Chain A
């Protein structure tokens, strides 16, 4: 009877199997159940070294969360300047708020393993669970501010 009760409880609360998503700063405040909901829209992708993840000017459909490897970002307008996105960082977050098109080209600097989330699914999830959405958006703001400060410091 207790085993049945435990099983039912695990079905409702969801096991801690999705805890790995907390390694990404924008998901670190989510509960195990919220991570389970997130898991339903996450796609696992892998890229070989040199492979292009996306190109500037193309429609923005997916954001990537780098699990392994490095990604080189280059802007066609400032080709001499590029920067690298590494483990546990998010790729495409700025683009998500900057319009419907990619601002830069991303290519795998080494073999890359990444989690991909379609922006449509991401917004649907945020809208369907506002409390969860608020946690994600707060963390996203922090992350963007941190990036902006880093860029500002490097420009000085």
Chain B
């Protein structure tokens, strides 16, 4: 037995495992990007067959999604601002912020009245009491929200970076979709090449069925 060769292999395995453990957080990004790519790939391939290069197709899709989000936001932003102002008014309410204050909101007050009617009609139901309890919990949460945000800002920044990094990785995965497939199959020896194709088709089919957009099928 060649001990130096064996030692080298063991050392390489240790380095590889250590690398995998050290950079394990990358895998969640990669897996999410692959799933995201599988969702968008049929649309990108469709555009490619219509003579739109893949990189341009991905950008077009991203722009469409961004446009949709922008439209949705602009459509509902006045309502959101009004509701935000109401919330701030409630938070800065004199004499503290409690369930009674929230009950002052007309919409919630309507629900509360309906719950009281139900209690009157069905003895022992206690829906209004349950609602007050839920509102108390909600006010506790809202009061503690600023502190919660301050205490957990690293996780929040992590989540935001996750949301922005995934489309970036997916862009390159989608752009070089076929090159990546070819590279993976290129690694297989001739003996396992066809087996590799069968496996890849099965993976494509399974992941495509789970993640693929139903509208496309």
Contacts and interface: CB of A to CB of B under 8 A. Distances in A.
Contacts of A58: 194
B contacts with A: majority SS: helix
Interface in A31-63: 33, 37, 40-41, 43-45, 47, 51, 53-54, 58-59, 61-62
Contact of B197 (A13, A44, A62): A62
Interface residues of B, number: 17
A12 B53 contact: yes
B51 interface: yes
Nearest to B185: A43
Interface in B183-197: 185-186, 190, 193-194, 197
B49 A61 contact: no
Contact of A53 (B51, B182, B190): B190
A76 interface: no
B197 A61 contact: yes
B53 A59 contact: no
Nearest to A114: B190
Contacts of A44: 186
Contacts of A116: 193
Given A40-B178, A118-B201, A59 B186 contact: no
Nearest to B54: A40
A120 interface: yes
A62 B51 contact: no
Given A43-B186, A45-B190, A51-B190, A37 B49 contact: yes
Contact of B194 (A11, A33, A41, A54): A54
B53 A11 contact: yes
A102 to B, nearest CB: 10
Interface residues of A, number: 23
A128 interface: yes
Contacts of B201: 118, 120
Contacts of A43: 182, 185-186, 193
B56 A62 contact: no
B143 interface: no
Contact of B56 (A11, A40, A59, A118): A11
A41 B193 contact: no
A41 B178 contact: yes
Contacts of A45: 190, 193
Nearest to A12: B51
Contacts of A11: 53, 56
Given A54-B194, A59-B194, 12 more contacts: A11-B53, A12-B52, A12-B53, A37-B48, A43-B186, A44-B186, A45-B193, A53-B190, A59-B198, A61-B197, A62-B194, A118-B201
Interface of B: 45, 48-49, 51-53, 56, 178, 182, 185-186, 190, 193-194, 197-198, 201
A-B CB proximity, top 9 nearest? A40-B178, A61-B194, A118-B197, A11-B53, A12-B51, A61-B197, A120-B201, A62-B194, A43-B185
9 contacts: A37-B49, A41-B178, A43-B182, A61-B194, A61-B197, A118-B197, A120-B197, A128-B45, A129-B49
